[in-house]
Structure 1
Amino acid sequence: MANRLANATSPYLLQHADNPVDWREWGDEAFAEARRLNRPIFLSVGYAACHWCHVMAHESFEDEGVAELLNASYVPVKVDREERPDVDAVYMDATVAMTGQGGWPMTCLLTPEGEPFWCGTYLQRPQLLQLLTAIGGAWSDQEAQVRASGTAVVEALTKAQSGSAQSLPLSAELLDAAVATLTRSYDQEHPGFGSAPKFPPSMVLEFLLRHHARTGSSTAWRMAQETATAMARGGLYDQLAGGFARYAVDRAWVVPHFEKMLYDNAQLLRVYAHLWQAAVRDDEADTAALAERVVRETVAFLLESLRTPEGGFASSLDADTEGVEGSTYVWTPAQLEELLGQQDGRRAATLLTVTASGTFEHGTSTLQLLNDPDDPTWWATTRASLKARRDLRPQPALDDKVVTAWNGLTIAALADAGSLLDEPSWVAAAADAARLVLDLHFVDGRLRRSSRAGRVGAAEAVAEDYGDLIEGLVALHAATADAQWLNAAGTLLEDAVARFGDGQGIFHDTAADAEELVLRPRARGDNAEPCGQSALASALLAHGAAAGSAQHLELGTQALAPMGVIAQRDPRFAGWALAAGEAAQAGPLQIAISEGTGQRDLVDVARQSVGAMVVVGSPDQAPPLLDGRPDVDGQAAAYVCRGTVCDLPVTSPADLREALTRGRGSQLTD
């Protein structure tokens, strides 16, 4: 049997390369083979860090009996959802429509034309064998009816998509209402939204911080600050190495699902940088200290654990280590005492909530830091010792593919955090990642989705790739004032608007000239990361603000409207659209600071404005926002604009502070 996955650029596909199942990659060859043999396609979709994907692989795809049945009656196709989010989106819609829920591993049976007629998620081996036998018989005896079922599913999905194209402007009133709706699902006891499992609401927190910055809403601030604090002190956060796990399986953020995803950590890094920014402005010293710690530790995690030799950022760390979930990360009191000695071990166990009964499995505990240590010096030494010992344990596998969208989110986060906390090396790391993506992923005038070890994949970029990368490039331009990043963003944006948009504000996930699927996917909400619609709307607004382009600002506002109905109905699934809506309501706010005496003092004030586009001139860089805006008699001047309306320049920090706070809180609703 040919090893058809051996040359894949996806680590997930490579995990399955030696299965007895005769896997093929998604593509024309697989469908041609299905048509030639007149067999259904067995589609299996997952990703490298997925725990239950590993379980199903061990139970079923490494089993000779399952493989024999699959190879004899089906054309098996394996897809990495992170490499092909477009394929994943189409069949996830079908799975949710058929079963009422989705998730990974996703299992779908398709006609040779790609129409789904059965969909599900994880299946135990006996269930899978029963399914394969039943469907094999149905295909032999009732092929016409099976095909008709697949056609009906596609028709229903197409109808549902066309019926969802409603628009509702993200007005100030809708943004206020979104905060009110969020309060009703807010967990007062264990801050966050919803119950178990509990996901970090990264984009919602960004929205709440921006809403607080614009309106002064104490409710928005409380929900953002309390949730960020609870996540940072709980087991969701890696107290030894920094960085966040994918989600908590419980309501109180104690037990994480241990996989660490780049997109989560990039978004949360930006959130905590902006939390620090707001806390400093409002003299919230404890919150500022916690936020800064999380920012610095999370950057360290990104640079030490996810940065690739080429300068990009890898996708994820696995949830499992040698087949056991979380084994790298958990501790017992005895382990702490063995390493630190009885006295310090017990002290560490108390501080980190490591108990005799355990908070996880088999008497082990995750690490929580519910209170600041009373002796920071002792804790720094202890933390270093614990991390050094943990580093000697077997480590989770790394999915080292470089995804365009997630690197765009990381570029934005590092650029923002590095600029705010005055860490040039973080901005330099963002620039390295930007160069890699632009040099390697931009092929024949088109952007690609991913690469691995310096080899670009074949899959074309989707809308979120363009939107998130553009957002990152604009943030990098703001941090450096280097026009090359803004120019690159403008080129990508022109391509995205032409190829993904319908001219009426709607963006599809795939380009008009991309591979044709049974349904052209269009995301209807933000989930773990910004959907393509929200990402491109935010990118248009960011680029419009940085370039001083009224046209892009108008297009960005128009592109937010298709997200309005979701934002009104369930703002938890429109977090990035709401954050972009706040930027639009604020102007977007632009602050350009010229060279001259007193520049640093103006910069310090400007960078306390959450959501503002701050660009600082230098002898070597003259960004567009400073075109025709000189110093004032040798004094650095700050030019404050909201959208296309600008104030007169100011030269004193007090005057700049007044200009930035003018109108703040005028729409206060609580």
Structure 2
Amino acid sequence: MNRLKDATSPYLLQHADNPVEWFEWGEEAFAEARRRDVPLLISVGYSACHWCHVMAHESFEDEGTAALMNAHFVNVKVDREERPDVDAVYMAATQAMTGHGGWPMTVFATPGGHPFYTGTYFPRPQFQRLLAGVSNAWNGDRQAVLEQGSKIVEALTERAALPSGPVPTPDTLARAVRGLSESFDPVRGGFGGAPKFPPSMALEFLLRHAAAGAGARDGDGREGRTTVATATTMAERTLEAMARGGLYDQLGGGFARYSVDADWVVPHFEKMLYDNALLLRVYAHWWRATGSVLARRIALETADWLLAEMRTPEGGFASALDADSEGVEGKFYVWTPEEVREVLGEEDGAWAVSLFEVTGTFEHGTSVLQLLDDPDEAERFARVRSALLAARARRVRPGRDDKVVAAWNGLAVAALAETGALFDRPDLVAAARAAAVLLEEVHLDGDRLLRTSRDGRAGSNAGVLEDYADLAEGLLALYGVTGEVRWFHRAGALLETVLTRFADGSGGFFDTADDAERLFQRPQDPTDNATPSGQFAAAGALLSYAALTGSARHREAAEAALGTVTVLADKHARFAGWGLAVAQAAVSGPVEVAVVGPAGDPATAALHRAALLSPVPGLVVALGEPGAEEVPLLAGRGLVGGEPAAYVCRGFTCRMPVTTPAALKAELAGSGTSGEGSGTSGESA
């Protein structure tokens, strides 16, 4: 029988009516495989995955294919978003065996879970032949199959971990910029060719490097103006190209997962929480650094989209929107010229067809909307856009995976808190806080974090490293915006678990805790993928926490975790974007600002806002009333002449306090970003 009907994962529930006798991942499936003496067939995917749906329709809903699967295998369906650890170990095997990976991922394994044959999407005829072939091999040449599985596990287990180098330096960061420039597309933005994924973490690094300004040095000891200019160009060209192309939903806001072409025109239409949280933060930071009108618009539209489309009734944020509606990829989003004119009338319709490039860029004469230039007629544009959006709302909407993932909600908390503060949008800060409350109340079990929840009920899957690290990052950002000390303390507790349960003893971190379910390999990947790696995310949160507390233990752990960045900087910087961003913050200090003043006082608020508006890389802000002692950076700081004051520090060595936003801005501009000290005397905490 199919055992998915009681699953909490929306992806698993999509397969609950398949004729396949699916098991959830767990001991029951392994025991059944041992009892029947048959292999496991492990199918891994996620709810917004287009080709997962295709394989489901072709094979898993087909009675004949299901009969073959049921007769010869114990079939296990895995939601990779619920079980990233399971996904990681089998993806490593798939990539090692086939040279590539992707979803759906199809793995044949022994009853003990050791993989011996892997692949991704298989069309039904090929899949049926594969089922028969694997079954024949299992029954006819068992020893060879077992040896194959053992060799794969041995190779993966013995594969040397990515070596760690010294702590990144300004030279490391300049080399990374030059490395990124080698694959940069100067015409269309982004890196490499098709398909193009939004390089969120690399963009954050480039913005931080640009903000570091002339303090960055290149490898020859000259002023790093060349790499700073290069970083600025790469970041701004890519951010503008993504925002104006089809990757961005020009009507409703929000970014799709990736572009299938090199021009950012035709997206793979699924929308993921993690992409939009990361990009929201980057666009907000772009505005903070430059005042770009486009950056402001995209940041606020993306934030509004998150609240309108992704927020759950409990206050968290859903994982994804599907690419398909009515079984057709992109149907919800694309338009023909005739459809545009039908909604708008002939005159506005012709204008909109030209404005949005409705020229048959997708399939069957339809187009993905682009906005290559801002229209001169703002009122007309607003009216046209509103009418098209209202018409689109009457279409069948894509499905939504409404499970709440701790890590991705942590990214959303950070992005919404900072965006709300920068643009004076208290509703965004309130949404960030509500998500943090949900994660605190539902996902936390003592000092341990559960990865997912749905409908306000926690799942049973243990949090992995990225859950702890991204949530700690989000809570520290929320503390910096609100001054609520509870978030600072909660982040510290999460990081304590990171240090005690995930450390590998060599300066890095495993992706699972020391008491997590034992798989055939303990996953550990320090490189970024679609989201910051757990190791680099942990390094960032540890660095910020160290800056707020003066803790050498946390600072040293962050620096040790960044050793991998030095190894990746030259040739593989795209896979270390978040690590490079954190390293830029470490090289720059990070700068610390303690804002002390009565809560609700306009002068306190003005100083606080001036601090948050600074683009200094990795800057941390502590906010509290006079006499506050719970956050060490605030301890001993007081009013100056009865006025709220701001203290600019590095390594807990502070300049003289200032009492006006203009003076604080000047202090931050001169705070030093080269990693060589502030060059001024001041009080030492």
SS of the aligned residue for 2:561 comes to: helix
Give the match for residue 123 of structure 1: 122
Take 1:597 and 1:524, find their aligned partners in 2: how far apart are those partners?
Answer: 44
Matched, 1:227 2:238: yes
Alignment of 1:276-425 (within 5 A): 276-280=287-291, 288-355=292-359, 358-425=360-427
- Select between 76-85 and 589-598 the one with higher mean Cα deviation: 589-598
SS of the aligned residue for 2:527 comes to: coil
Q: Give the total of aligned pairs.
A: 657
Give the match for residue 184 of structure 1: 182
The answer on whether the counterparts of 2:614 and 2:665 sit within 8 Å (CA) in structure 1 is no
Alignment of 1:433-444 (within 5 A): 433-444=435-446
SS of the aligned residue for 2:562 comes to: helix
Take 2:627 and 2:403, find their aligned partners in 1: how far apart are those partners?
Answer: 35
Cα deviation digits, residues 270-327 of structure 1 (max 9, x gap): 00110010013xxxxxxx2111111111111100100000110000000011110000
Give the match for residue 19 of structure 2: 20
Q: Sort the Cα spacing of 1:13 and 1:173 in 2 relative to 1 into closer, same or farther, 3 A.
A: same
Give the match for residue 198 of structure 1: 196
- Select between 163-172 and 372-381 the one with higher mean Cα deviation: 163-172
Take 1:667 and 1:347, find their aligned partners in 2: how far apart are those partners?
Answer: 53
The answer on whether the counterparts of 1:550 and 1:644 sit within 8 Å (CA) in structure 2 is no
Alignment of 1:366-515 (within 5 A): 366-515=368-517
Give the match for residue 284 of structure 1: none
SS of the aligned residue for 2:76 comes to: strand
Give the match for residue 210 of structure 1: 208
Alignment of 1:101-116 (within 5 A): 101-116=100-115
Give the match for residue 541 of structure 2: 539
- Select between 143-152 and 598-607 the one with higher mean Cα deviation: 598-607
Give the match for residue 285 of structure 1: none
Structure 2: 5+ residue stretches without partners: 215-227, 677-685
Q: Tell me which amino acid in the other structure corresponds to 2:236.
A: Q
Take 1:32 and 1:252, find their aligned partners in 2: how far apart are those partners?
Answer: 50
The counterpart of 1:614, out of the listed 621, 643, 649, is 621
Please state how far the C-alpha of 1:620 moved relative to its aligned partner.
11
- Select between 390-399 and 562-571 the one with higher mean Cα deviation: 562-571
Q: Tell me which amino acid in the other structure corresponds to 2:53.
A: H
Q: Sort the Cα spacing of 1:101 and 1:386 in 2 relative to 1 into closer, same or farther, 3 A.
A: same
Please state how far the C-alpha of 1:377 moved relative to its aligned partner.
1.1
- Select between 392-401 and 494-503 the one with higher mean Cα deviation: 494-503
Give the match for residue 283 of structure 1: none
Give the match for residue 36 of structure 2: 37
Aligned residues: CA RMSD: 1.7
Cα deviation digits, residues 128-150 of structure 1 (max 9, x gap): 11111111111111111101110
SS of the aligned residue for 1:239 comes to: coil
Take 1:54 and 1:621, find their aligned partners in 2: how far apart are those partners?
Answer: 54
Please state how far the C-alpha of 1:604 moved relative to its aligned partner.
4.3
Q: Tell me which amino acid in the other structure corresponds to 2:173.
A: L
Please state how far the C-alpha of 1:445 moved relative to its aligned partner.
3.6
Please state how far the C-alpha of 1:534 moved relative to its aligned partner.
0.8
Q: Sort the Cα spacing of 1:130 and 1:177 in 2 relative to 1 into closer, same or farther, 3 A.
A: same
Please state how far the C-alpha of 1:36 moved relative to its aligned partner.
1.2
Name the TM-score, length of structure 2 as normaliser. Answer: 0.93
Structure 1: 5+ residue stretches without partners: 281-287
- Select between 633-642 and 122-131 the one with higher mean Cα deviation: 633-642
Give the match for residue 69 of structure 2: 70
Q: Tell me which amino acid in the other structure corresponds to 2:505.
A: G
Take 1:565 and 1:172, find their aligned partners in 2: how far apart are those partners?
Answer: 14
The answer on whether the counterparts of 2:85 and 2:511 sit within 8 Å (CA) in structure 1 is yes
- Select between 635-644 and 478-487 the one with higher mean Cα deviation: 635-644
Q: Sort the Cα spacing of 1:620 and 1:420 in 2 relative to 1 into closer, same or farther, 3 A.
A: farther
Q: Sort the Cα spacing of 1:666 and 1:442 in 2 relative to 1 into closer, same or farther, 3 A.
A: closer
Please state how far the C-alpha of 1:518 moved relative to its aligned partner.
0.1
Take 1:154 and 1:233, find their aligned partners in 2: how far apart are those partners?
Answer: 46
Cα deviation digits, residues 150-201 of structure 1 (max 9, x gap): 01001001111x3434334222111110001111111011011111000000
Take 1:5 and 1:413, find their aligned partners in 2: how far apart are those partners?
Answer: 35
Q: Sort the Cα spacing of 1:528 and 1:336 in 2 relative to 1 into closer, same or farther, 3 A.
A: same
Give the match for residue 266 of structure 1: 277
Please state how far the C-alpha of 1:662 moved relative to its aligned partner.
2.1
Q: Tell me which amino acid in the other structure corresponds to 2:210.
A: H
Q: Tell me which amino acid in the other structure corresponds to 1:582.
A: Q
The answer on whether the counterparts of 1:597 and 1:634 sit within 8 Å (CA) in structure 2 is no
The answer on whether the counterparts of 1:597 and 1:635 sit within 8 Å (CA) in structure 2 is no
Take 2:653 and 2:140, find their aligned partners in 1: how far apart are those partners?
Answer: 70
The answer on whether the counterparts of 2:247 and 2:256 sit within 8 Å (CA) in structure 1 is yes
Alignment of 1:522-561 (within 5 A): 522-561=524-563
Please state how far the C-alpha of 1:531 moved relative to its aligned partner.
1.1
The answer on whether the counterparts of 1:213 and 1:609 sit within 8 Å (CA) in structure 2 is no
- Identical pairs, percent: 56
Q: Tell me which amino acid in the other structure corresponds to 1:425.
A: D
The answer on whether the counterparts of 2:647 and 2:656 sit within 8 Å (CA) in structure 1 is yes
Please state how far the C-alpha of 1:444 moved relative to its aligned partner.
4.7
Matched, 1:639 2:647: yes
Name the TM-score, length of structure 1 as normaliser. Answer: 0.95
- Select between 210-219 and 136-145 the one with higher mean Cα deviation: 210-219
Take 2:163 and 2:234, find their aligned partners in 1: how far apart are those partners?
Answer: 31
Take 1:414 and 1:619, find their aligned partners in 2: how far apart are those partners?
Answer: 28
The answer on whether the counterparts of 1:505 and 1:562 sit within 8 Å (CA) in structure 2 is no
Matched, 1:61 2:60: yes
The answer on whether the counterparts of 1:463 and 1:509 sit within 8 Å (CA) in structure 2 is yes
Cα deviation digits, residues 420-479 of structure 1 (max 9, x gap): 111111111111101111111112542111011122111100000000000001001001
SS of the aligned residue for 2:48 comes to: coil
Take 1:289 and 1:622, find their aligned partners in 2: how far apart are those partners?
Answer: 40
Q: Tell me which amino acid in the other structure corresponds to 1:340.
A: L
Q: Tell me which amino acid in the other structure corresponds to 1:7.
A: D
Give the match for residue 173 of structure 1: 171
SS of the aligned residue for 1:401 comes to: strand
Take 1:345 and 1:54, find their aligned partners in 2: how far apart are those partners?
Answer: 35
Matched, 1:602 2:613: no
Please state how far the C-alpha of 1:603 moved relative to its aligned partner.
3.6
Give the match for residue 142 of structure 2: 143
The answer on whether the counterparts of 2:627 and 2:638 sit within 8 Å (CA) in structure 1 is no
Take 2:651 and 2:583, find their aligned partners in 1: how far apart are those partners?
Answer: 13
Q: Tell me which amino acid in the other structure corresponds to 1:631.
A: L
Q: Tell me which amino acid in the other structure corresponds to 2:624.
A: G
Take 2:152 and 2:368, find their aligned partners in 1: how far apart are those partners?
Answer: 44
Q: Sort the Cα spacing of 1:666 and 1:532 in 2 relative to 1 into closer, same or farther, 3 A.
A: closer
Take 1:44 and 1:633, find their aligned partners in 2: how far apart are those partners?
Answer: 67
The answer on whether the counterparts of 1:474 and 1:546 sit within 8 Å (CA) in structure 2 is no
Take 2:333 and 2:651, find their aligned partners in 1: how far apart are those partners?
Answer: 47
Take 2:261 and 2:27, find their aligned partners in 1: how far apart are those partners?
Answer: 43
Q: Tell me which amino acid in the other structure corresponds to 2:412.
A: T
Q: Tell me which amino acid in the other structure corresponds to 2:329.
A: E
Cα deviation digits, residues 106-148 of structure 1 (max 9, x gap): 0010001111100110001111111111111111111111011
SS of the aligned residue for 2:42 comes to: strand
SS of the aligned residue for 1:466 comes to: helix
Take 2:362 and 2:627, find their aligned partners in 1: how far apart are those partners?
Answer: 54
The answer on whether the counterparts of 1:308 and 1:314 sit within 8 Å (CA) in structure 2 is yes
